[in-house]
Amino acid sequence: MKARVHVTLKPGVVDPEGAAIARSLGRLGFGGVEAVRVGKVFELALATSDTDAARAEVEAMCEKLLANPVIQSYRIELAD
Amino acid sequence: MKARVHVTLKPGVVDPEGAAIARSLGRLGFGGVEAVRVGKVFELALATSDTDAARAEVEAMCEKLLANPVIQSYRIELAD
């Protein structure tokens, strides 16, 4: 089955990459951009077809490698 | 209004970051990971409240800065 993990900075955590992109958009003439935040998406192909097992395994992957739980939050979507 | 832009590599484009993450997950003991692909998400706060204008502007941002249309595809979601 497939898992999609969305990793984003927690509210309040400074996002220098997003700020740089917002400035660049302004310089390119896009005047109406108030803020930009950047996140990552991981699309995983998993051998298991057990949804509960997959969710538990992907949560462990997030805690150990895919996200930094101190400053990032993550959301997991599973699909067949 | 808010716009969320999902940028992913087109199918067939090699993803070395995803391959490295898949290997790392294997070394950490997650045996059932067949493949990993990595994408980005940009969350934009826009001054406009006109949905059609926002979509056109965000599409232009994707073509000029947020994505590389040669190797990446993008998907735009708008919300109030």
Q: What is the pLDDT of residue B52?
A: 94
Contact B1, B53 (CB under 8 A): no
Residue pLDDT, tens place only, A2-39: 999 999 999 999 999 999 999 999 999 999 999 999 99
Q: Which of B4, B41, B49 to mutate to test the interface with A (most CBs of A within 10 A)?
A: B41
Q: Which residues pair with B39 in a beta bridge?
A: A41
Token pair belonging to B51: 């949905």
The 3-state DSSP class for residue A52 equals helix
B38:A37 CB<8 A: no
Contact B39, A40 (CB under 8 A): yes
Residue spans per domain, chain A: 2-79
Residue pLDDT, tens place only, B16-55: 999 999 999 999 999 999 999 999 999 999 999 999 999 9
Q: What is the pLDDT of residue A80?
A: 82
What percent of chain B stands above pLDDT 90?
A: 99
* H or E element that contains A25: helix A16-27
A35:B28 CB<8 A: no
Q: Is the dihedral of CA B41, B46, B49, B54 positive or negative?
A: negative
Work out the pLDDT band at B80, boundaries 50, 70, 90: confident
Instruction: Decide if A64 touches B, using CB distance below 8 A.
Output: yes
Average pLDDT over chain B reads: 96
Instruction: Decide if A79 touches B, using CB distance below 8 A.
Output: no
What percent of chain A stands above pLDDT 90?
A: 99
Q: Which of residues 29-58 of A touch B (CB under 8 A)?
A: 30-48, 57
For B2-79, CATH number?
3.30.1280.10
